[in-house]
Structure 1
Amino acid sequence: MFSIGEHIIHPGQGVCTVMGYEDAPSPMIVLEAKSGHAKTRLMYPMSQLDRLHPCIPREEAEALIADYDALECDPFTERNSSLEETYFKHQLKLGAPETLRVAKTMRRRIRDAEKNAKKPSSYYMRVLKEARRRSIEEFAVALDVSEEDAESRLHAAAVAAGEISEN
């Protein structure tokens, strides 16, 4: 069971804060998700508690940033881009390090398509955007920094790995 105030990963929302528990009409955990600038209160069934998991600890977040260059891209491919997108969206529900791996994979696929003078699949940008959002949220919580600071640290790691330019 999670403690009140603990940050957890919700499969659909990303980082949420445990706000409490309710018993009626059925056992629920009360969560608060930050979506953009607004906060959303959610009731999540206790019967599905196994789908929620804690955010990564600070040490793991620090190690992932330090070893970002060694993080391997996901090799999954499928002829049908819809099935591929579904696979990567499922990976995002797992939290870090998978959110970071998916972001790295999408950036590489976009870069590879552009190198070959091809237009990248539109799903690459959709999945990359969500992977970045979820990574930034979770790393901000794990490192106890603002989302801007977490984004800056993740960006610096990607630049140092030669994955993206300084801009």
Structure 2
Amino acid sequence: MEEVDSIILHFLRQLNINIDPEVKNICELPVEVIIESATKCLCEINNSLKLPIQMPSGISHRIEVASQIASICKDMGYKNDVGYQTFLYHNETDLRHIFMFLIENLPNEGQQNTVKTTTNNSKSLLLGEISNKIGEQINSIWIPPCCNPTNKKHFGDFVFKTG
């Protein structure tokens, strides 16, 4: 898992987050850096978000900020359990999963830093339809054509193939 952590730390350093060069494991990050990292990732993904980068001093404000970050991650489609405790009282596995999710959602270098927008050109529409169709087919059960009930007709007890 050190390789995964080094990749995560590399991406976080590219976001101009001040991470000590001695840090080799994501669990070694202080809470302040974890909150700053999550906030900067979310702001890169969606510029319209207004999140505090610095951790507030009061515990109730800290919980509020961490809860807000967790809520945004859930809204973005993060499937695992996430709450304020994920950021304030972190464990290595949960932290690794949440940062992998955030980094996967970061815009590529060539893209603008805005929320994903759909273009109306025919190529992107076709690719989207192909992607949706492949997703449907992957999640459906494959039935051999000879067993497909839509290709057969019944005539009494006799079943014959059509088409």
Taking structure 1 as the reference length, the TM-score comes to: 0.22
Greater share of residues in helix:
2
Greater share of residues in strand:
1
Taking structure 2 as the reference length, the TM-score comes to: 0.23
If you compute each CA radius of gyration, which structure gives the higher value, 1 or 2?
2
